[in-house]
Amino acid sequence: MQSLLLIAAGGALGAVSRHLVNQAGLRLIGPEIPYGTLAVNVAGSLALGLLVGWLALAGRGDATEIRYAFGIGFLGAFTTMSAYALDVVLYIEKKAYMSAALYGLGTVMASVIAVMIGLMIARRLVTP
């Protein structure tokens, strides 16, 4: 039961954080490109890489509370792959195929690179 409460608390904070980033993107940049969704997916991927790398390299594999609250809860609610997929579909429906392809591939590549960077940073910061 405690694990569910940790996931729920982290998820609530992640969802609110995602909403705030999306609103900031709309306010600061505009609605033409879903920068908020891109930002949360890349930042969430970087954070997940850092978390996984830190837990593994620091010998903290037993840190279940951190994994539940931050990894599953916060980052699970903060990253928005379902919103990302909807953004791609909306581009397709507008027949903006190049934008759909660039945004779709760009988000995936940036997120994969962000996880790699997070793992590299974690490996340099944590010496076994």
pLDDT tens per residue across span 110-126: 999 999 999 999 999 98
Concatenating the DSSP letter of every residue in 64-76 gives HHHIIIIIIIIHH
pLDDT digit string, tens, across residues 28-83: 999 888 899 899 999 999 999 899 888 888 877 678 899 899 989 999 999 978 77
Domain chopping of the chain, boundaries:
2-125
Q: pTM value? A: 0.76
Closest C-alpha among 106, 110, 113, 75 to residue 88: 106
